[in-house]
């Protein structure tokens, strides 16, 4: 009987130990699972944070603006990051300059400057350093060359001052330039010294800006060079231009 009780007690102890071991194993397995879950969640969180950090750095990365111009003369600005990847493209449409309207009453005549580009057949008007408008124009037959002497029908290049503005019975208006000035005389004397013109040549004068005969505007449009060296505009254009000229002050720069 005693042996039987001892056997029962041993069996109970073994069962208790087995149960304790099993519970410990389950606890260890649960702890291990929680650790794995923690590490996995931390890995995911770290990945998300890294992605956000890289995205923020890419957003904050300084960009470089590359400016080009399209076939219409519009300014095109390309934003690029440091890797050369385009981030943004902006097109700035340039308003048409040719015969751009303006109000002469709003113009300070002392702040007007003219620029003539013979190769482009353009007279540009600047007000306070900014391009105000532009006109088509023509010259003499040898317009691409520098004037050297009287009768060569060339338009002089350089900087000149408009001396006066007056009406003209054939060409609407006439604006006289201070040709020949000191620069013109230097060019003339050098041409003589280098025997590019005859010793008897004279420097000439009476060069200016004027209009054209009645109904002759198409000659300007066709770029037909017909003057003796003056700059010719359409009559309505020379009439408009004459309203913002300050005689003795307004300068004109003539380029090849």
The C-alpha atoms of residue 104 and residue 256 are separated, in whole angstroms, by 29
Q: List % helix, strand, coil for the chain (3-state, nearest 5).
A: 35, 25, 40
**35 within some domain:** no
Looking at the structure, do residues 186 and 87 belong to the same domain, yes or no?
Answer: no
The two three-digit tokens of residue 53, written as one number: 């950090």
Specify the range with the lowest mean pLDDT, choosing from 30-34, 90-94, 160-164: 30-34
Specify the range with the lowest mean pLDDT, choosing from 80-84, 105-109, 135-139: 80-84
- The sign of the CA dihedral 152, 231, 114, 160 is positive
The C-alpha atoms of residue 62 and residue 54 are separated, in whole angstroms, by 14
**142 within some domain:** yes
DSSP helix/strand/coil, 20: helix
Q: What is the pTM of this model?
A: 0.65
Mean pLDDT for 178-194 is 96
pLDDT at 23: 45
Looking at the structure, do residues 68 and 146 belong to the same domain, yes or no?
Answer: no
Looking at the structure, do residues 159 and 182 belong to the same domain, yes or no?
Answer: yes
**233 within some domain:** yes
Question: What residue numbers bound the domain in which 88 lies?
Answer: 62-94
The whole-chain average pLDDT of the chain stands at 83
The C-alpha atoms of residue 18 and residue 134 are separated, in whole angstroms, by 104
* Higher per-residue confidence, 182 vs 96: 182
pLDDT at 120: 94
Burial class of 112 by CB neighbour count within 10 A (0 to 12, 13 to 18, 19+): buried
pLDDT at 69: 60
Looking at the structure, do residues 82 and 207 belong to the same domain, yes or no?
Answer: no
Looking at the structure, do residues 156 and 68 belong to the same domain, yes or no?
Answer: no
Looking at the structure, do residues 70 and 111 belong to the same domain, yes or no?
Answer: no
pLDDT at 25: 46
Residues in Cβ contact with 134 at an 8 Å cutoff, skipping those fewer than 6 apart: 97, 98, 99, 100, 122, 123, 124, 125
pLDDT at 48: 75
pLDDT of 33 strictly over 70: no
Looking at the structure, do residues 132 and 69 belong to the same domain, yes or no?
Answer: no
Looking at the structure, do residues 66 and 166 belong to the same domain, yes or no?
Answer: no
Tens digit of pLDDT for each residue in 67-84? 776 655 566 777 766 666
Mean pLDDT for 1-21 is 53
* Higher per-residue confidence, 225 vs 31: 225
In DSSP terms, 69 is beta-bridged to 75
**31 within some domain:** no
**230 within some domain:** yes
pLDDT of 151 strictly over 80: yes
Count of domains for the chain: 2
pLDDT of 8 strictly over 70: no
pLDDT of 116 strictly over 70: yes
The C-alpha atoms of residue 178 and residue 157 are separated, in whole angstroms, by 12
């Amino acid at each position: 009987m005693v042996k039987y009780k001892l056997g029962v007690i041993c069996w109970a102890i073994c069962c208790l130990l087995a149960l304790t071991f099993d519970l410990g194993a389950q606890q260890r397995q649960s702890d291990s699972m929680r650790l794995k879950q923690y590490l996995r969640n931390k890995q995911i969180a770290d990945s998300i944070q890294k992605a956000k950090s890289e995205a923020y750095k890419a957003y904050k990365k300084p960009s470089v603006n590359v400016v080009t111009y399209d076939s219409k003369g519009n300014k095109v600005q390309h934003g690029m990051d440091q890797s050369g990847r385009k981030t943004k493209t902006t097109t700035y449409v340039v308003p048409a300059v040719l015969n751009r309207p303006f109000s002469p009453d709003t113009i300070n005549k002392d702040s007007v400057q003219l620029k003539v580009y013979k190769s482009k057949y353009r007279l540009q008007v600047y007000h306070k350093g900014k391009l105000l408008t532009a006109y088509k124009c023509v010259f003499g037959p040898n317009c691409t060359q520098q004037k050297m002497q009287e009768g060569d029908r060339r338009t002089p290049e350089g900087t000149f001052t408009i001396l006066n503005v007056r009406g003209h019975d054939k060409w609407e208006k006439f604006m006289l330039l201070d040709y020949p000035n000191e620069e013109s005389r230097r060019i003339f004397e050098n041409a003589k010294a280098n025997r590019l013109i005859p010793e008897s040549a004279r420097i000439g004068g009476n060069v200016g800006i004027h209009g054209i005969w009645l109904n002759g505007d198409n000659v300007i449009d066709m770029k037909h060079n017909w003057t003796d060296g003056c700059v010719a505009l359409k009559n309505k254009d020379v009439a408009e231009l004459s309203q913002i000229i300050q005689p003795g002050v307004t300068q004109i720069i003539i380029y090849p």
